[in-house]
């Protein structure tokens, strides 16, 4: 939610990348124009003197040069990892790291303006994502930190954003070990070749857009993204293609598995004034009592899962605006854990949803007493959404497969 109490549409990872690249291109534009002007002056000063007898030979050479230039100018659409095989076998994702840090290069079309991206994850709740100029990770252009109870967003040249938060599926923490089979079965992913990068073998999948949780689309002939996923579920490479041109190329340059991360690696803003300005309050509740009626819950937690927290979320629209008068929205969030996996149950009155879910590519499902639902398969987990059940919304998110999540939702009972 934003400070006005309205659902905030968070920019996707791809949009963040493109925005950073665009800023750097704009900054380089003036110097690039100057360089081009100088090159044109040098060309105009050149004098080409050729004998009449060499005209035919020169024409043949020119034709060869044209063909060579045309060939060299064809875009390289392939991933950079060494190709091992043309068709990868079914991938078995296992030994998923609890914590990891991956540094990527983001290639741009402007020479010398490439960026770096750093993703640090400590499952199940903590993540830091940064985009920066090469060699300037300590002063990033964009910095997002998500923890179990805080969310902090920093953008160069803009005020910091600090909010209280409840646990979420980590926005850029891919959990393809849970969802890749569903993504393939439903046509969002297609398996391609096998490659190797930084000593790790990976399987290439083609999908319709840059990988974003909840925003997976199907590839077309003119627009697609190829990603290479290691056998422990880390994304090592990604190249986005549109109309035969590379839109974005992202390549891992360093991977650290199971680093000894601490809370200091996830610096959030704890200042009460800043948190209050976010308009979000989170209250821990007694997990043994029903906080309101009606309330959807399990008679007993699903096997292997533990109820980690029960919370009430109050979001206040601080001022009147075009969407209506100042108002307060209340919802409840139950968080369950199973090792590094999370299961998040959100509910409340219709209109009080604490998170907006894109159901454009959702799959119709049925979930027990909840009835009809929308199932959203993503790269960070699976989401099941019931928009209106007797005036209530119910959202169930999990780092699990679609069949497991639907089974869990079907066992929920209204109390």
Give the domain CATH number at 352.
3.30.200.100
pLDDT, tens digit, 9 for 90 and up, residues 221-270: 999 999 999 999 999 999 999 989 988 899 999 999 999 999 999 999 99
Closest CA to 19 of 142, 107, 152, 176: 142
Closest CA to 103 of 205, 229, 237: 237
With a cut of 90, say whether residue 52 has pLDDT above it: no
322 vs 397, residue with greater confidence: 397
Residue 279 near residue 1, CB atoms below 8 Å = yes
Provide the β-strand partners of residue 252.
Answer: 104
Write down the pLDDT at residue 42.
Answer: 38
Laid out side by side, the sheet with 382-389 consists of 280-284, 306-317, 327-338, 341-349, 392-398, 382-389, 371-377, 363-367
Judge whether 255 lies within some domain.
Answer: no
Laid out side by side, the sheet with 223-230 consists of 82-85, 190-197, 200-207, 223-230, 235-242, 245-257, 99-107, 115-122, 126-133, 142-146, 150-155, 161-164
For the CA atoms of the chain, what is the radius of gyration? 25
pLDDT, tens digit, 9 for 90 and up, residues 156-210: 989 999 999 999 999 999 999 999 999 999 999 999 999 999 999 999 999 998 8
Domain of residue 409, residue span: 269-414
Angle at 230 between CA 95 and CA 402, to 5 degrees: 70
Question: How many angstroms from the chain centroid is the CA of residue 288?
Answer: 35
Judge whether 132 lies within some domain.
Answer: no
pLDDT, tens digit, 9 for 90 and up, residues 269-315: 999 999 999 889 999 999 999 999 999 999 999 999 999 999 999 99
* Lowest-confidence pick of 57-66, 226-235, 383-392: 57-66
Judge whether 387 lies within some domain.
Answer: yes
Judge whether 84 lies within some domain.
Answer: no
The structural domain count of the chain equals 1
Contacts of 306 (CB under 8 A, 6+ apart): 336, 337, 338
Judge whether 79 lies within some domain.
Answer: no
Closest CA to 234 of 48, 72, 103: 103
| Confidence band, pLDDT 50/70/90 cuts, at residue 14 | low
- Average pLDDT over every residue of 143-165: 95
Judge whether 379 lies within some domain.
Answer: yes
With a cut of 70, say whether residue 145 has pLDDT above it: yes
Which pTM value belongs to this model? 0.83
Write down the pLDDT at residue 21.
Answer: 62
| Confidence band, pLDDT 50/70/90 cuts, at residue 99 | very high
Q: How far is CA 46 from CA 40, 50, 52, 77, 377, in A?
A: 10, 13, 19, 36, 60
Residue 259 near residue 118, CB atoms below 8 Å = no
Q: Centre a 10 Å sphere on the Cβ of residue 83 and count the other Cβ atoms it contains.
A: 12
User: Can the peptide bond before residue 124 be classed as cis, meaning omega within 30 degrees of 0?
Assistant: yes
- Chain length of the chain: 415
Write down the pLDDT at residue 147.
Answer: 98
Judge whether 352 lies within some domain.
Answer: yes
DSSP character string of 164-189: E------TT---HHHHHHHHHHTTS-
Closest CA to 163 of 12, 18, 299, 7: 7
Write down the pLDDT at residue 22.
Answer: 62
Judge whether 319 lies within some domain.
Answer: yes
Write down the pLDDT at residue 118.
Answer: 97
């Amino acid at each position: 939610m934003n400070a006005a109490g309205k659902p905030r549409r968070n920019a996707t990872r791809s949009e963040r990348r493109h925005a950073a690249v665009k800023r750097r291109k704009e900054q380089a534009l003036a110097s690039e124009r100057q360089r081009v002007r100088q090159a044109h002056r040098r060309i105009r000063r050149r004098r080409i003197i050729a004998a009449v007898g060499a005209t035919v030979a020169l024409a043949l050479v020119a034709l060869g040069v044209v063909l060579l230039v045309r060939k060299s100018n064809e875009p390289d659409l392939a991933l950079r990892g060494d190709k091992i095989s043309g068709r990868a076998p079914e991938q078995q994702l296992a030994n998923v790291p609890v914590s990891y840090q991956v540094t990527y290069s983001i290639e741009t079309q402007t020479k010398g303006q490439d960026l770096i991206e750093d993703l640090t994850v400590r499952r199940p709740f903590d993540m830091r994502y940064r985009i920066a100029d090469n060699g300037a990770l300590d002063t990033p252009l964009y910095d997002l930190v998500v923890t179990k109870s805080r969310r902090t967003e920093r953008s160069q040249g803009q005020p910091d954003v600090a909010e209280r938060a409840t646990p979420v599926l980590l926005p850029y923490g891919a959990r393809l070990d849970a969802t890749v089979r569903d993504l393939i079965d439903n046509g969002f992913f297609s398996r391609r070749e096998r490659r190797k990068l930084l000593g790790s073998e990976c399987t290439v999948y083609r999908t319709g857009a840059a990988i974003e949780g909840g925003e997976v689309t199907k590839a077309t002939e003119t627009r697609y993204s190829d990603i290479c996923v290691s056998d422990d579920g880390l994304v090592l490479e990604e190249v986005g293609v549109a109309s035969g041109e590379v839109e974005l190329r992202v390549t891992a340059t360093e991977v650290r598995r199971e680093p000894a991360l601490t809370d200091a690696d996830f610096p959030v803003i704890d200042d009460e004034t800043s948190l209050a300005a976010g308009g979000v309050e989170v209250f821990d509740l007694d997990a043994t009592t029903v906080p309101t009626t009606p309330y959807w819950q399990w008679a007993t937690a699903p096997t292997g899962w533990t109820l980690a927290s029960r919370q009430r979320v109050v979001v206040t629209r601080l001022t009147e605006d075009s969407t209506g008068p100042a108002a307060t929205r209340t919802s409840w969030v139950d968080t369950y854990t199973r090792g590094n996996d999370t299961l998040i149950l959100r509910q409340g009155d219709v209109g009080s949803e604490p998170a907006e879910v894109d159901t454009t590519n959702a799959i119709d499902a049925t979930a027990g007493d909840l009835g009809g639902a929308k199932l959203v398969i993503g790269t960070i987990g699976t989401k099941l959404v019931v928009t209106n059940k007797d005036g209530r919304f119910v959202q169930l998110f999990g780092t699990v497969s679609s069949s497991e999540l639907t089974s869990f939702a079907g066992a929920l009972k209204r109390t």
